[in-house]
Amino acid sequence: MSKRASLIETYAQDLRTKCKMVADMDLLTKVTIGCGPSIYRADASLVAGSDPKELETVKKNFLVKKLGLADGPDLDAAIDEVIETYGRDNRQKYRAVVYYMLTKRFGREAAYA
């Protein structure tokens, strides 16, 4: 199994156990590929859910630029909702999982078509 395939399985397991969701494996794979080489770097592969600067980066670089959403308070609320679903106490929030949940939350699966 390749390193990427192993990571995708890890992400799917997180979605099942921590988020109580069944992953759309095709979309999860596309989101993971979209994260690029960051998935292989320990710090870059994670989202610091309590760091306002990190959450702003998720909003600007992912929600606005990648998904094409208009900036507004609903984006902050969605990020907060995803962090809550993933578990605020969970210190290891994988970027690919957070991006996957945000993509599903906004129904923007077409961004990965």
Q: Which residue has the tokens 């210190």?
A: 91
Confidence at 7, pLDDT banded by 50, 70, 90: very high
Task: List pLDDT tens digits, range 41-76.
Answer: 999 999 999 999 999 999 999 999 999 999 999 999
User: What are the chain's domains?
Assistant: 3-112 (1.10.238.120)
> Residue 105 burial by CB count (10 A; 0-12/13-18/19+): exposed, middle or buried?
middle
Task: List pLDDT tens digits, range 88-109.
Answer: 998 899 999 999 999 999 999 9
CA distance 66 to 69: 8
In this predicted structure, what is the pLDDT of residue 113?
Answer: 87
Chain centroid, CA 70 distance in Å = 18
Q: Which two tokens stand for residue 12?
A: 């799917």
In this predicted structure, what is the pLDDT of residue 91?
Answer: 86
pLDDT at residue 79 greater than cutoff 90: yes
What is the reported pTM?
0.96
In this predicted structure, what is the pLDDT of residue 35?
Answer: 96
